[in-house]
Amino acid sequence: MTRTKNSITVAALAVAATAFSVHAADGRYPVTYVQKVEITHPSHRSAWENKDFLDCNDVVLTEEDVFYALRHMRRISWKSYDPENTDTTGCEGKTLVTFKNGKILAMGIEPTGRISTGEFDAKMKPTASPPSFYECDPCRQRKMALLKDALHRADERRLKRLEAEGRIPPGEAEVRLKRSKAERDKP
């Protein structure tokens, strides 16, 4: 009986260790080896920008965002990252992260937690490593919570435009805006 309990305990620990490693950040980019973070474009808009959802002028990438992303990003396939198949704000901050070994990681970080990367050597020549794509749900939750006011402003723009176009009844924009704000402000 004790042997069975030990076997079950060992099996459970192995499963837990496997699950933890699946959710671990990319070990190629340890935060402890970061030498320098240079934000090259704190706020950049792409062709995917949707001001009805979020105005890119309201989104600014910070050094804290970069470190948070390095700690929490999970690698995904291009298919999972492709803007045509996923939600995107069209806003992205760009940064160069230099590691102590000379490797430079160029990152594009969206407030939705979508991250694209490319590796370069110390002379800014691309390495053999192909571009990588990541998602970071903790980054999305954190950044979107910080962007509540910007999201409220985008909702207001969208709803007032719909009301002006006659697509929603007069006064309905205010009602929907209050409802949306209350939903977003829930803990």
Query: Own/partner pairs for 120-124, CB < 8 Å, 24+ apart?
Result: none
Residue 136's closest CA among 79, 75, 91? 75
Residue 122's closest CA among 62, 41, 42, 36? 36
Spatial separation of the C-alpha atoms in residues 134 and 106, rounded to whole Å: 13
Between residues 5 and 139, which one has the greater pLDDT? 139
pLDDT in tens, 165-178: 999 999 998 998 89
Is residue 10 scored above 70 in pLDDT? Answer: no
Spatial separation of the C-alpha atoms in residues 78 and 36, rounded to whole Å: 28
61 within 8 A of 39, measured Cβ to Cβ: yes
Is residue 18 scored above 70 in pLDDT? Answer: no
Q: pTM for the whole thing?
A: 0.73
Residue 72's closest CA among 103, 101, 41, 29? 29
Spatial separation of the C-alpha atoms in residues 12 and 47, rounded to whole Å: 47
Is residue 100 scored above 90 in pLDDT? Answer: yes
Residue 40's closest CA among 102, 106, 100, 112? 106
Averaged pLDDT of the chain: 84
pLDDT in tens, 104-137: 999 999 998 999 999 999 999 999 889 999 999 9
Query: pLDDT band for position 187 (50/70/90)?
Result: low
Spatial separation of the C-alpha atoms in residues 139 and 116, rounded to whole Å: 14
Render the burial of 105-128: b for 16+ CB within 10 Å, e for the rest: bbbbbbbbbbbbbebbeeeeeeee
